Amino acid sequence: MNDTRAPAMPSGGGTTSVAEAASGEPRPRGFAHVESWIFDLDNTLYPAGSPLWPQIDQRITAFVAGLFGIDGMSARALQKYYYQRYGTTLRGLMIEHDLDPAIFLDFAHDIDRSTLAADEALAIAIAALPGRRFVLTSGSHGHAMKTTAHLKIDHLFDGVFDIAAGDFIPKPDERTYLRFLGQFSIEPAKAAMFEDIPRNLEVPHRLGMTTVLVAPRAEHETREAWEGEGGSARFIDHRTDDLAGFLTQIK
Ligand SMILES: [Mg+2]
């Protein structure tokens, strides 16, 4: 019985087969060539277990309830319907109800960040990255600045690209990535993208970026199950539940 594994390991198994080569990317992309480091904000630059995203989520529900004069359960259902159909609840409200995005964003991001401590390990790891660093978020610029300030990493970025800069078209729409890359003259083949939502890494990988999924082992505790689809996909080069630790190991 103990011998059964031996014949299952063909000699030369470590080489790339023709089939692998023909199918695209047999090996995960590395970081030696990377000049631009791109980070999602929520649940990526701070841990998914932090009490930030649940607050935003609840305030969006409250906003929808107040806007339509409906109860919390109905508002929740409508919020998630917009989110699934349009990528963000905000975009659904803008398209279907001509909502002023500034009113929504100010309300949704008016949260308590006091429990978010400075992340010294992350600051050191990001500061050591060679090249430029960016935040690419579906939240507002103000939310990104306040949140990174609490983490004490706000001084480490060369630019923040928010949902308004992307004309309120959220990831994973390709237009938003292209607009972001163009604004900062980033060459995607020399960039790496860090994200907690798998589907937001598909376009970056297709454009040539090295992709890293930042997610806890017990996934999808605070996010939707459908968002996690594709978590084992080929467009994800690396995955980690410890962003600072991962960055520190990059050679
Ligand atoms: Mg995120």
Q: How far is the CA of 222 from the centre of ligand 1 (A)?
A: 11
Answer whether residue 26 is part of any domain. Answer: no
Regarding whether 42 and 157 lie in a shared domain, the answer is: yes
Q: How far is the CA of 100 from the centre of ligand 1 (A)?
A: 23
Amino acid at 115: T
Q: How far is the CA of 124 from the centre of ligand 1 (A)?
A: 21
Q: Please count the structural domains in the chain.
A: 2
**Six token digits for residue 160:** 């923040």
Q: How far is the CA of 65 from the centre of ligand 1 (A)?
A: 24
Q: How far is the CA of 6 from the centre of ligand 1 (A)?
A: 43
Binned at pLDDT 50, 70 and 90, residue 228 comes out as low
Q: How far is the CA of 182 from the centre of ligand 1 (A)?
A: 22
- pTM for the whole thing? 0.85
Range of 57's domain?
Answer: 53-108
Q: How far is the CA of 93 from the centre of ligand 1 (A)?
A: 20
Sheet holding 210-214, edge to edge: 159-161, 132-136, 36-39, 191-195, 210-214, 238-240
pLDDT tens figures, 55-93: 999 999 999 999 999 999 999 999 999 999 999 999 999
Instruction: Tell me which DSSP letter residue 129 carries.
Output: S
Answer whether residue 67 is part of any domain. Answer: yes
Q: How far is the CA of 9 from the centre of ligand 1 (A)?
A: 39
What DSSP letter does each residue of 24-80 carry, written as one string?
S-SS---STT--EEEE--TTTTS-TTSSSHHHHHHHHHHHHHHHHT--HHHHHHHHH
Regarding whether 147 and 207 lie in a shared domain, the answer is: yes
Domain boundary among 89, 108, 127: 108
Map 180-207 to HEC letters. Answer: HHHHCCCCHHHEEEEECCHHHHHHHHHC
CATH code of residue 160: 3.40.50.1000
Regarding whether 205 and 233 lie in a shared domain, the answer is: yes
Regarding whether 93 and 134 lie in a shared domain, the answer is: no
Rg (CA), the chain: 20
Locate tokens 């900062």: which residue? 184
Answer whether residue 15 is part of any domain. Answer: no
pLDDT tens figures, 185-220: 999 999 999 999 999 999 999 999 999 999 987 654
Report pLDDT for 218: 63
Answer whether residue 1 is part of any domain. Answer: no
Report pLDDT for 17: 40
CATH code of residue 92: 1.10.150.450
